[in-house]
Amino acid sequence: MKIPMSRFQIHDDLTAPEGSVPVLRGALATGGQLPNFIGVLAGAPAVLRGYARFRSELRHGKLSLPTLERISIAVSEHYSSEPGKQTHVRAARAAGLGLDEISLAREFDSSDPKEAALLHYLQALLDQAGRPPMHLHEEAREAGWGDEEILEAIAYMSLESFTALVNVAGEVPVDGSIEESRVLKAA
């Protein structure tokens, strides 16, 4: 069995540059295990700190967890980020999304017309280099999304795009893939 390898070193609190250690220790204290993506970012302390601050601020926004997971799934699928797809499908299920909604989110869609309007707008933003048609912006507003929520959705999409780009560019293995390989070898 071939063990997936990242192009970037995946750090922990023992191997990371000094500037990343406080963030890693904080993540370990709350999450238990570091995702491979965070271990990669630890190689660049300024990037890790910026990412952590951006994500933290967006957690206190107006968008619901199911909305954020729909966006995450759509973006992970757009960039073919395997770690993102697996992580966000699990998180979406935990947030109460059914398999049908997860499947629709992969295509920037939803059975909920309000959610669908926002996802269609975000898809156009990704696909058309930042120039979505005005009618999609208007449709998102007519569906009930205000400027604050639309701006948060754009910010969250950019954060998830960054995550997916690092995962794809670095060939970051899916979390647990190394441990699964060890279990297979031991068997």
- Which residues fall within 8 angstroms of residue 7, CB to CB, at 6 or more apart? 169, 170, 171
Is 70 part of any domain? yes
Same-domain status, 95 and 144: yes
Same-domain status, 49 and 126: no
**What does the pLDDT read at residue 179?**
41
Is 120 part of any domain? yes
- Residue 44 is part of which domain span? 7-60
**What does the pLDDT read at residue 185?**
38
- DSSP3 helix / strand / coil % (the chain, rounded to 5): 70, 0, 30
Same-domain status, 50 and 105: no
CB neighbourhood size of 12 (10 A): 15
Same-domain status, 71 and 115: yes
**What does the pLDDT read at residue 3?**
57
**What does the pLDDT read at residue 113?**
98
Number of structural domains (the chain) is 2
* Phi, psi values for residue 43, rounded to 5°: -70, -15
Same-domain status, 53 and 80: no
CB neighbourhood size of 101 (10 A): 22
In the chain, which residues have pLDDT < 70?
Answer: 1-4, 31, 130, 176-187
Transcribe 124-147 into DSSP letters.
HHHHTTT---HHHHHHHHHTT--H
Residues constituting the chain: 187
CATH code of 106's domain: 1.20.1290.10
